Structure 1
Amino acid sequence: MMKKTKSKSLCFPIGPVFLLVFFAFFPWPSRAQINNNAENRLNSTPLFTYFKYEGKDEVYKKNPLNTNEFYTPILQGCYPDPSITRRGNDYYLVNSSFAFFPGVPIFHSNDLVNWKQIGHVLDRPSQLKVADAGMSEGIYAPDISYNPHNETFYMITTQFAGGIGNMVVKTKDPLKGWSDPIKLNFDGIDPALFFDDNGKAYVVHNDAPEKDKEQYNGHRVIKIWDYDLERDQIVPGSDKVIVDGGVDISKKPIWIEGPHLYKRNGRYYLMCAEGGTGDQHSEVVFVSENPKGPFKPASENPILSQRHLPKDRENKVDWAGHADLVEGPDGKYYGVFLGVRPNEANRVNTGRETFILPVDWSGEFPVFEGGLEPMPVKLKMPSGVINKTGKNGFLPNGNFVFNDDFKGKTLDLRWIGVRGPRENFIQIGREGLRIKPFEVNMNEVKPTSTLFYRQQHKKFSATVRMSYQPTSEKELAGIVCLQKETFHYVFGITKKEQQHYLVLQRTQNGQSELIASEPIEEGKAIELQVSAEGDRYQFNYAFDGKNFKNLGGTVSGDILSTDVAGGFTGALIGLYATKANDISPKSD
């Protein structure tokens, strides 16, 4: 039997002489080198320490509020396709969000005047599959409703992404989050739920006519289905067309959509948008003794539209439609709807906004008060309501200033991402906001490392303070003004060879053009600013926070407008970082 022996390890005495020789040939980095390496890593990740947005529209300067008044729109900027519901004294309102992430902003009010954003309905990747969606894809026309029979809120919508289509989510408490989506087995768009007094539920929605029955381009129908509340699914075979084409199909009305059902005095009212969500937009209404029809149109349709008014009217609001009704705290009805406020070049940069008007329902049909006249700037408040906008967490209205130093524990809900969660690229803390750049730039239909704030005024300025040292020509950080991936401005800092540059690039229909570039001294914090007066935009910078210099002169905001770029969104102002920069500055 072999005798086991202990193995001996080879050891050297570690003495002072050995250490001196070791460090002479293998020197450790100095504290300064360690700090410099860490600083370089941090500086290549931009730090944003301050953001200020200031609205300066003349309409609000010329129309100050009296104590019993409030402004409409109630939600300025890209908050389209509003839907509203009520439970007791609580009102909840939602909007379309397309490829924005999180999706479907949700607001709460007790009086229809003072609103707080309480979150987003779709705030998780399991709910929102828009990673490869174009800016005007994703979430269309959400409808929010409350069912008193099971004390549940529902949000039903169409998600043009992720193979989802029509879907519903629900909750007992909008402050505590919403379920994952339940895919619904029907085609078309713009679904809305209706809960009858007897506990039955129905879905109404826009759809194409039956095969081979389309009479003209834009011919659509409104369908209704029985809805099974236990299965959260339509009842197969229960569908019926209740409106064909619109109010009068002989006149070839286009895009009957955005339907909502209401019940009042034992009768059923169907209200829909008609004419398409452009300058022929309107709202029409029908009545029936049965939720499945037949529905008779009101004799005085439309009940809301601006399409027939003079084009050169003052303080023009246009494209009014896609409305929803609710009973107000004073017992009177009100309607929320979308509209746009074109600039002096008749371009729509702020997108489709959420307006409100009182509704007269003293007769057979509801009628928007002043809905066929030039839209007012301000309205009388419901009885007993005090205007608190801009105070105690209520959203501001009119001309206002929004400041953010990014030092809160959570990000302000008005900041959004595109196609993916903000949490994938942002970090907020005591020093401010850091954006971890993706290897994706603004031209790509992918999630970008950009934090966006909506443009909410025709005349505004947005200023951000940034510390940043790019380490290669592939890195850039700064401001982007975005309409979509093929229409935008980028204003930021990049590097070429050993020099840092400030660059301004315009992209129109996917074709990019360098407007201007300027070498700058590295290592200094910089303030970047975009300002606009209607169609005229300027991009400015300062190192001292006071003496701003312009880069690129005055440029047109045409590419930031819906009517030029197409689609359904408004202009966004983004804090942007990328490791896939394709902007090359001009060398000296």
Structure 2
Amino acid sequence: MKKQQAIILAVFCTWFSMTEIYSQSTQKHAPLFSKVVYQGDDQVYKDYPLKEGEFYNPILQGCYPDPSITRKGDDYYLVSSSFAMFPGVPIFHSNDLVNWKQIGHVLDRPSQLKVHDAGISAGIFAPDIIYNPHNDTFYMITTQFAGGFGNIVVKTKDPHQGWSDPIKLDFGGIDPALFFDDDGKAYVVHNDAPDEGKALYEGHRVIKLWEYDLDKDQVIAGTDQTIVDGGVDISQKPIWIEAPHIYKKDGKYYLMCAEGGTGGWHSEVIFISDHPKGPYKPAPGNPILTQRYFSKDRKNKVDWAGHADLVLGPDNQYYGVFLGIRPNEKDRVNTGRETFILPVDWSGEFPVFVNGLVPLVPKLKMPQGVENMTAGAGFFPNGNFTYEEDFSSEKLDYRWIGLRGPREEFISMTNNGLQITPFETNIKEVKPTSTLFYRQQHNHFSFTATVDYKPASEKDLAGIVCLQSEQFHYVFGLTKKGNDDYLILEKTEKGESQVLASTKIEIKGPVHLQVKARGDEYEFGYSTTGGDFVNLGGTVSGDILSTNVAGGFTGCLLGLYATSANNAR
């Protein structure tokens, strides 16, 4: 017996010793990022400087699509889609609809968000946030295409204090939204396919409604019904009626939906009824928001407007948040779908987005009595701005996200910067990666990172990445070949990778890596002295970082990347 115990103890000690050696080795070869500078330089903001009483639109630049908004008293909360980004569903707070602070993420725990094996454009779609005054509770309902979830709802009494674990909902389709009537009754509306055998054309969808049991947090079986079939006029074969929201005003019920798909035919439409269950009649003036009728080469183009949500503003006027895109000079979408806002005129029977049916402009007038503080500390910036990060704060800025898994599994905050412990996973795999991402927010920008790193083998690489998806990206990083250190630029398109350029480099201290873009043209450079950057690879096309080429639903993500499974040679 003692002999067996001795053997077990010896094996354990050997295992512990090897684990400790591996851990120390991993830490030794973990890159340390000591400074990051992101700088936006879009011409539109130079041509349209802000005057007193103005603010910029979009209010959230970069990949913050499918916005939803709610209000409790003087507090406004806004959320957007996050797909396979982790944590999921960024949430913002404002008291005036102009100045926003990110207060965290709704889904910030692995028990809430199971996207570890999801492609970047799977995961969380179209979250809807709403406050129920009858039980003083906030709800966020969404579709999670991962982890066996489907449609889910989470709740909280205070959005600043975290949210419940998900409750799986017993219905299909996507884009669910809740509505609470004056009598306390609750309903869910969502996009779905027509009943089996009833689809008339490609893109034919319906809007369904269910009664919702607030005590059980579940739809009531057998209460589902179709309230819109196809869209405003099914004889015109409208496509992708989705993102429904119900509002009540002056005793009438209004159903607002996106129609036309998230692309060039996107729009927002409205219906009216005397009862939450319908029948719903479309407004004669639909659409109430779109950018689809204008010249494709218009200056400072904003396009794809739709997927909206309404809220009563602090000035007692309605406002609508919605998604739109600002393509580059080659009409490519690298920054993703962004969050815009417009005042809404609801003085008549139907709401209409003010100037939402003419080409959108970069600036808006602020609600009366509001001061623009978006350049101040803590508020989400817009326009052209510079964001500097030295990772010296105790808490990581909410704008930094992971992909498919928690950031805490690979980052460590040190006195000298942020250390990334590399996973044995590379950026091409549909797995959690040891990469910390920041969204590209301008068509013209630079992103510079200082990294202290000495690769140990060809399997080790650390640097920066520009990523549209696991199949479309650039990697610019330090690795090893034989006894020499190299800096390489690798392009991956449709999952096929090639090294565009490489150079032997003598690493004597921190290396500064940079990517800068002028619309569709991206350049990568490095400096070992802190002086001028040396270009590597010339000018490369940003086409693979666009939605147009790569597909999917995200914008370009700029990452601090490390891997012990490098296969770029």
Kindly provide the amino acid, as one letter, of the partner of residue 374 in structure 1: P
Paired position in structure 1 for 2:235: 250
| Alignment counterpart, residue 365 of structure 1, candidates 341, 345, 350 | 350
- What is the RMSD computed on CA atoms of the aligned residues? 1.0
Offset at residue 372 of structure 1 (A): 1.0
Counterparts of 2:375 and 2:88, CA distance in 1: 23
Q: Which has the larger radius of gyration?
A: 1
Cα 1:397/1:214, change in 2 over 3 Å: same
Runs of 4+ residues over 2 Å off in structure 1: 37-43
Any conservation in 1 of the 2:230–2:238 contact (CA below 8 Å)? yes
Percent identity between matched residues is 70
| Alignment counterpart, residue 301 of structure 1, candidates 277, 281, 286 | 286
Counterparts of 1:237 and 1:379, CA distance in 2: 46
Paired position in structure 1 for 2:10: none
Offset at residue 415 of structure 1 (A): 0.1
| Alignment counterpart, residue 539 of structure 1, candidates 524, 546, 550 | 524
Kindly provide the amino acid, as one letter, of the partner of residue 429 in structure 1: T
Paired position in structure 2 for 1:188: 173
Offset at residue 547 of structure 1 (A): 1.1
2:45 aligns to what SS in structure 1? helix
Paired position in structure 2 for 1:10: none
Offset at residue 42 of structure 1 (A): 4.7
| Alignment counterpart, residue 208 of structure 1, candidates 186, 193, 196 | 193
Is 1:415 the counterpart of 2:370 in the alignment?
no
The aligned runs of 1:371-386 (5 Å cut-off) are: 371-386=356-371
Is 1:567 the counterpart of 2:552 in the alignment?
yes
2:548 aligns to what SS in structure 1? helix
Any conservation in 1 of the 2:82–2:90 contact (CA below 8 Å)? yes
Offset at residue 565 of structure 1 (A): 0.2
Which runs of no fewer than 5 residues in structure 2 stay unpaired? 1-21
Is 1:406 the counterpart of 2:394 in the alignment?
no
Is 1:509 the counterpart of 2:494 in the alignment?
yes
Paired position in structure 1 for 2:275: 290
Counterparts of 2:25 and 2:77, CA distance in 1: 47
Counterparts of 2:498 and 2:346, CA distance in 1: 54
Is 1:473 the counterpart of 2:469 in the alignment?
no
Q: TM-score w.r.t. structure 1 length?
A: 0.92
Question: What is the CA deviation profile of residues 495-528 of structure 1, one whole-angstrom value per residue up to 9, with x for unaligned ones?
Answer: 0000000000000000111100000002321100
Paired position in structure 2 for 1:88: 73
Offset at residue 41 of structure 1 (A): 5.8
Is 1:350 the counterpart of 2:335 in the alignment?
yes
Offset at residue 474 of structure 1 (A): 0.2
Kindly provide the amino acid, as one letter, of the partner of residue 159 in structure 1: Q
Q: TM-score w.r.t. structure 2 length?
A: 0.95
Kindly provide the amino acid, as one letter, of the partner of residue 546 in structure 1: G
1:120 aligns to what SS in structure 2? strand
Counterparts of 1:38 and 1:447, CA distance in 2: 19
Question: What is the CA deviation profile of residues 297-333 of structure 1, one whole-angstrom value per residue up to 9, with x for unaligned ones?
Answer: 0001000000111001110001000000001000000
Is 1:453 the counterpart of 2:407 in the alignment?
no
Paired position in structure 1 for 2:323: 338
Counterparts of 1:363 and 1:546, CA distance in 2: 61
Kindly provide the amino acid, as one letter, of the partner of residue 386 in structure 1: E
Paired position in structure 1 for 2:219: 234
Paired position in structure 2 for 1:102: 87
Offset at residue 430 of structure 1 (A): 1.1
Kindly provide the amino acid, as one letter, of the partner of residue 180 in structure 1: D
Matched pairs, number: 548
Kindly provide the amino acid, as one letter, of the partner of residue 312 in structure 2: E
Which runs of no fewer than 5 residues in structure 1 stay unpaired? 1-36
Counterparts of 1:511 and 1:260, CA distance in 2: 42
Question: What is the CA deviation profile of residues 38-63 of structure 1, one whole-angstrom value per residue up to 9, with x for unaligned ones?
Answer: 99765511000000000000000110
Paired position in structure 2 for 1:29: none
Kindly provide the amino acid, as one letter, of the partner of residue 476 in structure 1: L
Paired position in structure 2 for 1:45: 30
Question: What is the CA deviation profile of residues 441-465 of structure 1, one whole-angstrom value per residue up to 9, with x for unaligned ones?
Answer: 0110000000000000000000000
| Alignment counterpart, residue 522 of structure 1, candidates 507, 523, 528 | 507
Any conservation in 1 of the 2:507–2:528 contact (CA below 8 Å)? no
Any conservation in 1 of the 2:526–2:534 contact (CA below 8 Å)? yes
| Alignment counterpart, residue 155 of structure 2, candidates 142, 152, 170 | 170
2:544 aligns to what SS in structure 1? helix
Kindly provide the amino acid, as one letter, of the partner of residue 238 in structure 2: P
| Alignment counterpart, residue 427 of structure 2, candidates 430, 442, 458 | 442
